[in-house]
């Protein structure tokens, strides 16, 4: 039995507030013997760790490096192996598109084709600005195919995303369509062939989209064709309200994370500005929600760049702002990350991620600071990410006793 | 594969003795920076911890607060999610009734009804003594309905339990009967309608029980009706002998815990008196059994009352008696609790419970005392409660090698 099934009959509501802080990619590895968290100046996080239940979570499983989708689903309480998000959906969320249950999302490339075979699967890596203009042109000329509304969004360089929006909700297998990318130059593109009966209609729309786009782009030197990959529709995920009885809001400045939060039914207003602006927004909304997902992106960005000082400084910066959140006196505050991004590796990694849960009902005094090594001494030990939400609900008094 | 299936072919018998000590609700939380275990005077438990495999167990799962039933099933080696005990069965066990595989148990309330609708679902919370007399009267007038023997036991105030004992063992779904409590005053009681074919016969007995009781009680001012909830029958649990090859005895002074032990096939003589009396009883029976479940109730009772000094003193008291058990030189001694009951919360909680296993085959010297924080450093780390029995059997030399 998974945790959500177990806790569902135990959920009870109360007036408690939960602030769930995700420092994206916060976990790290030592450079000159100190990790990013150890090098950062974090008196507030350290004091909080001493009064919190601390540990480390594995986003998916030991040794598994998560993408942003699985990383967030895990800490949101959904086993990322049970709930997988399609590539097309993630790409579209990252580009700020909204996904509905009527939609199929697709990752697309501009490509160069000649005499029916691929010459360049990335259209010579055309600049982002060129891609953006081509995408605008396609959107101007293609509004609808059959009964499906077509929505496009440009990405970096040769990348873009397409949403095909149908008039009614789609079957779970409606997006089971093969990629058209032949994976090698010198081969012909593949047809977007359906792998299920309910995908046939979507496949016909995709075929027409590809041929129409080719017609529009035929005079382009490089980007004269499109390749489509990762056809996917919205996963069937219980909402935060259904799964946990929580009225939740995401306070995230990047479209991808608002999109992920929207997949689990959080409210996702557009928020812009600095982390301090995000916290001001949280204060404004504090009376209106039970659960606040505060997403701090820049920590991960510096990790991906391998900028150790930059990542540590982003953590120190957050530490200086933490008292503004603590002053609201939420019943439960959680601080963690969605995955590790060690500067040493310049990428996401599989390493367990420090986490602390602060409430009046912790053992505490097991750790003297918030870091990978200190959290190892904590009362939560190493736990699966998907267990964090049940623990958080317990600390908030939102879980009844199991059995008599 | 669950642990029981895994270990079943590995079980081997020998002459070893296992003393399994359950300090009910022993886990706690800091008050003035010390937990109940840290505040108690426990030189003997501390010395034992230094020579034991220590850790903490999660009775059900992270964040889940167990009732007494799931709490005990877990430490008895049965995953509490796989083996759920009905509310009626638990109520009946708590009132000292014996449950057989021919029985359906029901939790009942006296209630006030007028013109067919509920006026008071708890009959004005009649005093316990009044409830006891009414239950005696019902028992005198109702001995049998159809082929079912009817057995009643009074509880606190308006509560009582009923067992319907049929002539032959019942199907697993024979007790799937809806509650009759309408949950609100001003509504009519519901019929005890069956949710499965094999529950129809039981449902008919329940209907007649309710109407007969109403007839007997009709001249009562307050308690003129009965409401029935939590219809349940004995779960199909492998016995300790079947699951672990152990001839086990429970040494428990409270009916509820003897009842839970009986569910897993332990011998459950009535034992009364102090913890020292329980230990004397253990000594008397020492040659007759392999496994001794020693249940110390009062630790939990003080926890539920929020009496920190009282709970700590019950632990200190047990510590003074511990050498009497150690002097028997059992091959394995386990000390743990069925769940945490922090005085701070005055209730059961989800917090992992300290546990130590003493045998000649431990790593040891990881902890300097028996407490939540010390056990975090132990070689067992944090483990599911249902894994304690396989570990205990291993330490007793009762598990063969898996595979060649």
For residue A403, being part of any structural domain is answered with no
**Which residues lie below 8 Å from residue B95, measured CB to CB, with a gap of 6+?**
B153, B154, B155, B160, B161, B255
Reported as a single tens digit per residue, the pLDDT across B49-71 is 999 999 999 999 999 999 999 99
Structure tokens at B153: 């036991």
Whether residue A400 is contained in a domain is answered as: no
Final residue belonging to a domain, choices B197, B216, B233: B233
Are A135 and A153 members of one domain?
yes
Closest CA to B248 of B294, B280, B283: B294
User: What percentage of chain A has pLDDT greater than the value 90?
Assistant: 97
Dist CA A37 CA A27 (whole Å): 7
Residue ending a domain, choose from A233, A262, A295:
A233
Q: What is the pLDDT of residues B301-330, one digit of tens each?
A: 999 999 999 999 999 999 999 999 999 999
Residues in chain A with CB shorter than 8 Å from the CB of B67 are 401-404
Same domain, A220 and A275: no
What pTM does this model have? 0.92
Domain identity same for A137 and A249: no
CA angle B67, B70, B73 (to 5 degrees): 145
Confidence grade of residue B2 (pLDDT, cut at 50, 70, 90): confident
* Alpha carbon of B29: minimum distance to chain A alpha carbons (Å): 5
Say yes or no: A304 and A386 in one domain: yes
Is B67 in the same domain as B163? no
Q: Decide: helix, strand or coil at residue A163.
A: strand
Average pLDDT of the residues in B108-136? 95
Measured between beta carbons, the chain B residues lying within 8 angstroms of A362 are 29
B29 lies in the same domain as B160: no
B1, pLDDT greater than 90: no
Whether A201 has a pLDDT exceeding 90, the answer reads yes
Interchain CB distance below 8 Å, B382 and A377: no
The total number of structural domains that make up chain A = 2
Taking residues A26-47, what's their average pLDDT? Answer: 98
DSSP 8-state assignment for residue B142:
-
Closest CA–CA distance from residue A2 to any residue of chain B (Å): 10
Q: Is residue B402 part of a domain?
A: no
DSSP state of B373: H
Q: A314 and A288: one domain?
A: yes
| Closest Cα in chain B to A6 | B81
The answer to whether position A16 is within a domain reads yes
Contact list, A385 vs chain B (CB under 8 Å): none
CATH of the domain at A248: 3.40.720.10
pLDDT of residue A2: 82
Query: Which candidate in B35, B39, B55, B64 is best for mutational testing of the A interface (most A CBs within 10 A)?
Result: B64
> Final residue of a domain: which of B192, B213, B233?
B233
Q: A104 — phi, psi (to 5°)?
A: -120, 130
- Other beta carbons less than 10 A from residue B236's beta carbon: 8
Nearest CB to B63: which of A1, A378, A387?
Answer: A387
The reply to whether B263 and B276 lie within a common domain is yes
* Same structural domain, A242 and A390: yes
pLDDT above 90 (res B236): no
The range of the structural domain enclosing residue B123 comes to: 89-233
pLDDT value for A174: 95
A133 CB-side CA count, 13 A: 7
Do residues B135 and B27 both lie within one domain?
Answer: no
Size of interface A-B (CB pairs under 8 A): 89
- For the stretch B139-148, pLDDT in tens is 999 999 999 9
- Residues with Cβ < 8 Å from A34, sequence gap 6 or more? none
Residue of A nearest to B83 (CA): A403
Are A287 and A156 members of one domain? no
């Amino acid at each position: 039995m998974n945790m959500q099934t177990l806790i569902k009959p135990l959920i009870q509501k109360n007036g408690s507030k939960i602030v769930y802080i995700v420092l994206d990619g916060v976990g790290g590895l030592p450079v000159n013997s100190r990790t990013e968290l150890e090098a950062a100046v974090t008196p507030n996080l350290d004091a909080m760790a001493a009064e919190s239940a601390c540990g480390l979570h594995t986003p998916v499983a030991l040794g598994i490096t998560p993408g942003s989708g699985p990383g967030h689903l895990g800490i949101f309480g959904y086993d990322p192996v049970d709930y997988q998000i399609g590539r097309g959906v993630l790409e579209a969320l990252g580009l700020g598109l909204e996904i509905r249950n009527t939609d199929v999302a697709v990752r697309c490339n501009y490509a160069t084709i000649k005499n029916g075979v691929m010459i360049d699967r990335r259209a010579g890596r055309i600049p982002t600005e060129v891609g953006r203009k081509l995408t605008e042109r396609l959107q101007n000329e293609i509004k609808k195919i059959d009964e499906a509304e077509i929505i496009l969004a440009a990405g970096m360089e040769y990348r873009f995303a397409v949403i095909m929006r149908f008039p009614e909700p789609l079957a779970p297998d409606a997006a089971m369509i093969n990629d058209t990318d032949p994976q090698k130059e010198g081969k012909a593109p593949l047809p977007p062939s359906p792998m299920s009966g309910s995908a046939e209609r979507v496949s016909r729309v995709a075929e027409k989209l590809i041929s129409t786009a080719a017609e529009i782009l035929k005079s382009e030197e490089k980007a004269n064709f499109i390749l489509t990959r990762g056809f996917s529709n919205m996963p069937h995920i219980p909402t935060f309200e259904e799964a946990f009885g929580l009225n939740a809001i995401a306070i995230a400045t990047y479209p991808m994370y608002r999109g992920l939060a929207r997949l689990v039914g959080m409210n996702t207003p557009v928020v812009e500005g600095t982390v301090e602006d995000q916290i001001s927004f949280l204060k404004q909304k504090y009376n209106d929600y039970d659960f606040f997902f505060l997403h701090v992106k820049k920590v991960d960005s510096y990790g991906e760049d391998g900028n150790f000082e930059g990542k540590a400084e982003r953590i120190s910066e957050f530490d200086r702002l933490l008292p503004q959140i603590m002053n609201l006196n939420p019943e439960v505050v959680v601080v963690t990350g969605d995955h590790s991004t060690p500067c040493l590796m310049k990428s996401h990694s599989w390493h367990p991620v420090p986490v602390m849960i602060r409430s009046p009902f912790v053992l505490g005094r097991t750790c003297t600071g918030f870091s990978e090594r200190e959290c190892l001494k904590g009362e939560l030990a190493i736990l699966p990410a998907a267990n964090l939400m049940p623990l958080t609900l317990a600390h908030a008094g939102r879980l009844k006793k199991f059995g008599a």
